[in-house]
């Protein structure tokens, strides 16, 4: 319980957030890229304390494409809305178009996604059901796929979001606005007879938040910048959602790019000036701390789970894979062990394998351990604890013809893997404790001990984690073996948590 909160309210990668309030409860969705299950749905009673209640997309379509990691593809910025008794998520795949799925309960089950608007480079969709019964969809463009960007388009759709009614039209052209670039991420609202489009511009690392309004949904729109970094340390504060509390307080949720921790979640106060324009933060500057929302002042703090005791028979909601999962990769018997099959697909680059059970690397200093036993006969079988970005580092076990070894390796794009540490275990049945310590700058230190009474041995010190393509670095567990081997090896991971 606190009367003051500090930003970020979630210091981990929750990219491109969108949020709504339904009744007394807030719900938030975020981009998930190639991570599956995708489309995490978070729930909060007070805007500060969040828990994951679902992953709405069990697998990415088309399955045959996303059976391998497709870094930079998959689910980009989604929107969540509540209409006609249903929760709706609209999400873009920049290589395929805009998709929709629904649920009666945000915890699921969610419907299979259906395509609404096919096309290359259509991103950041947001729907609105108007008072006259008509329904609209605003979206942006990815230049990497479509050849154009810096513009927002609007199209009418059927109220069931199954059919597009007419061609899209450009409602805001960023090229016609002085100083604007990369105008994207629109969110569509209606207030006091005005149609509002909240949209970021200027790019992820250094951009700002704008708001545009019109008396007609199709424009013309007038706009202004309503949130920018100014003299604060919060770079690129933008892309998010306006919500109103049951007490009538207005708030804005947005991200800040924090390499290597990705896009972390901030909460800003919002009020409306005498001319009816939103003022976000402290006169348009992000606040680092602020009086908490009314309901948060009486709530015990909590946040999405980080550890896992592996006492459930299904993966906890903080976990995801690098591609569409195979049920044979992981067995959870509820006994405190996660059994991972050593899939025979190791070509020497962990970024190419899908069977990494991961979660975001958190931006607060952390210290966690797990245990690992490797049961394998095929030389080259390995398993471990990895920090995965564009490059990576891991500590784990490797089995070869001479026995089982504790090892640490790093990977650099274009250079491949480098062995940083190697020590032979006294016997193949020896379980090893692995430990990862990370700082608030993303410096990671890997340690191990082979027996409970042994001191921790440092295998790799101060590895600088880096982000992946549009995502944070990730913490992951993996097991793999060379192609052509039987794939019968298994890695047994114990609970992941504090030492």
Write the DSSP assignment of 409-439 as a string of letters: EEEETTTEEEEEEEEE-S-TT--EEEEEEE-
Q: Does the annotation mark 16 as catalytic?
A: yes
Q: Who contacts 371 (Cβ-Cβ below 8 Å, separation ≥6)?
A: 431, 432, 433, 434, 492, 493, 494, 495
Question: Residues 119, 97: contact at Cβ < 8 Å?
Answer: yes
Strand pairing category for 343-344 and 474-481: parallel
Handedness of CA 471, 474, 477, 482 (dihedral sign): positive
Write the DSSP assignment of 70-90 as a string of letters: -TT-SB-S-EEEEETTEEEEE
Question: Residues 272, 477: contact at Cβ < 8 Å?
Answer: no
Tell me which residue of 236, 232, 229, 179 sits closest to 203, measured CA to CA: 236
Token digits for 328?
């044979």
Question: Residues 15, 67: contact at Cβ < 8 Å?
Answer: no
Question: Residues 128, 136: contact at Cβ < 8 Å?
Answer: yes
Q: Who contacts 1 (Cβ-Cβ below 8 Å, separation ≥6)?
A: 297, 298, 299, 300, 301
From the candidates 16, 93, 346, 391, which is the catalytic residue? 16
From the candidates 18, 46, 184, 391, which is the catalytic residue? 184
Q: Does the annotation mark 184 as catalytic?
A: yes
Active site residues: 16, 184
């Amino acid at each position: 319980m606190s009367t003051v909160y500090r930003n970020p309210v979630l210091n981990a990668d929750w990219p491109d957030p969108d949020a709504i309030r339904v009744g007394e409860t807030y719900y938030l969705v975020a981009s998930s890229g190639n991570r599956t299950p995708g489309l995490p749905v978070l729930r909060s009673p007070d805007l500060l304390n969040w828990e994951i209640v679902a992953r709405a997309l069990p697998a990415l379509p088309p399955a045959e494409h996303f059976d391998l990691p497709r870094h930079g593809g998959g689910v980009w910025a989604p929107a969540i809305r509540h209409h006609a008794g249903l929760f709706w998520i609209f999400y873009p795949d920049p290589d395929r178009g805009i998709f929709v799925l629904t649920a009666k309960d945000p915890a699921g089950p969610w419907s299979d996604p259906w395509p609404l608007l096919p096309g290359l480079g259509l991103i950041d969709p947001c729907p609105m059901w108007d008072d006259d019964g008509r329904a609209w969809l605003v979206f942006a463009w990815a230049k990497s796929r479509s050849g154009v960007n810096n513009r927002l388009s609007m199209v009418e759709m059927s109220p069931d979001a199954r059919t597009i009614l007419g061609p899209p039209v450009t409602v805001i052209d960023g090229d016609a606005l002085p100083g604007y670039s990369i105008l994207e991420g629109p969110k569509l609202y209606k207030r006091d007879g005005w149609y509002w489009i909240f949209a970021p511009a200027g790019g992820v690392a250094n951009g700002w938040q704008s708001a545009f309004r019109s008396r007609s949904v199709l424009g013309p729109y007038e706009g202004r910048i309503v949130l920018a970094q100014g003299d604060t340390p919060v770079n690129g504060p933008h892309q998010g959602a306006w919500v109103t509390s049951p007490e009538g307080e207005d708030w804005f949720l947005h991200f800040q790019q924090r390499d290597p921790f990705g896009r972390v979640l901030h909460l800003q106060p919002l009020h409306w000036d005498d001319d009816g324009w939103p003022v976000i933060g402290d006169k348009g500057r992000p606040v680092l701390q602020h009086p908490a929302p009314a309901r948060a002042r009486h709530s015990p703090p909590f946040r999405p789970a980080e550890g896992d005791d592996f006492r459930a028979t299904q993966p906890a909601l903080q976990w995801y894979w690098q591609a569409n999962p195979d049920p044979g990769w992981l067995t959870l018997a509820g006994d405190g062990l996660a059994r991972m099959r050593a899939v025979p697909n190791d070509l020497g680059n962990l970024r190419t394998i899908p069977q990494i059970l991961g979660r975001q690397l958190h931006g607060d200093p952390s210290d966690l351990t797990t245990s690992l036993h490797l049961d394998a006969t095929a030389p080259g079988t390995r398993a471990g604890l990895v920090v995965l970005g564009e490059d990576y580092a891991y500590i784990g076990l490797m089995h070869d013809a001479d026995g089982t070894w504790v090892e640490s390796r790093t990977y650099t794009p274009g250079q491949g893997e480098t062995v940083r540490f190697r020590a032979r275990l006294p016997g193949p049945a020896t379980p090893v404790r692995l430990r990862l310590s990370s700082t608030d700058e993303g410096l990671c230190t890997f340690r191990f001990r082979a027996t409970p009474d042994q001191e921790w041995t440092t295998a790799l010190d101060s590895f600088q984690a880096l982000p992946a393509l549009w995502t944070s670095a990730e913490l992951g567990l993996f097991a793999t073996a060379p192609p052509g081997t039987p794939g019968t090896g298994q890695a047994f991971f114990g609970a992941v948590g504090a030492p």
